[in-house]
Amino acid sequence: MKNKNFFVHIFSNFVIALIITSVLLATSTLNPTRLTSGEGDCVAIYRGNYENNNISFMINVYWGSEYIEPMLDVLKANDIAATFFVGGTWASSNTELLQKIFDDGHEIANHGYYHKDHTRITRERNKEEIYITHQLIKTLLNFDMTLFAPPSGAFNTTTLEVANELGYKTIMWSKDTIDWRDKDSDLVYKRATKNPQNGDLILMHPTEHTLNALQSVIDFYKTNNFNLTVVSNNILN
């Protein structure tokens, strides 16, 4: 009887594992170069190309303008280009700083206009958030953005479809510094550098503690022979 119960227990665990695996395969696609979720062309990208030793800083900007220029100075001193995902409301109020980011050779990307939760708005509002921001940056910089980072990482199938229709790739991250919550430079450093892998996309924001940790994070990746580049270069197949 004990043996029977033992085998029933093993079999049940095996079935549960198969179910979990099936769900994961149904909702995400793993390939040798990128980690994505979604189907077909409508996917969210969580990591760049595994075959190259590229790392990218993705800096989401809706606030923290006072820390951006000092961050730009650090990046410039190290000859590094980052990707700045800018909110439309921020860009419209900080046109000179936006221009400086662009003139310094950094990549400008789309972070929506009003920082909405894209899972809680209609298809039309999903489209407006991305499209209006795109048109604003096109007007200000004469640059067509192609990368979209959903505010708070909130997206659904509708978001992915709309972004794809507008010619955008939806970008998530593989490392989150959570610098908007934890005001601790040591934590920012640890989260940005833990278990580094080719293609990592490191999420950060313009905060004082991120600024304080930035040089150390750069030094870590340079010492370990990683190439720091913009997101669009990192996700190339």
For the stretch 176-201, pLDDT in tens is 999 999 999 999 999 999 999 999 99
Per-residue pLDDT at 5 exceeds 90? no
Per-residue pLDDT at 80 exceeds 90? yes
CATH of 31-234, one of 1.50.10.10, 3.30.70.100, 3.20.20.370, 1.10.10.10: 3.20.20.370
Nearest-angstrom CA–CA distance, 40 and 57? 26
Can you give the residue ranges of every domain in the chain? 1-29, 31-234
4: confidence class by pLDDT, cuts 50, 70, 90 = very low
Q: Which residue has the tokens 């640059």?
A: 143
Percentage of residues in the chain with pLDDT exceeding 90?
A: 82
34: confidence class by pLDDT, cuts 50, 70, 90 = low
Mean pLDDT within 75-91: 98
For the stretch 141-155, pLDDT in tens is 999 999 999 999 999
Q: Which amino acid is at 129?
A: E
Per-residue pLDDT at 222 exceeds 70? yes
Percentage of residues in the chain with pLDDT exceeding 70?
A: 85
Distance of CA 3 to the CA centre of its chain: 50
For the stretch 161-175, pLDDT in tens is 999 999 999 999 999
Cα separations in angstroms, 68 against 63, 79, 205: 9, 16, 9
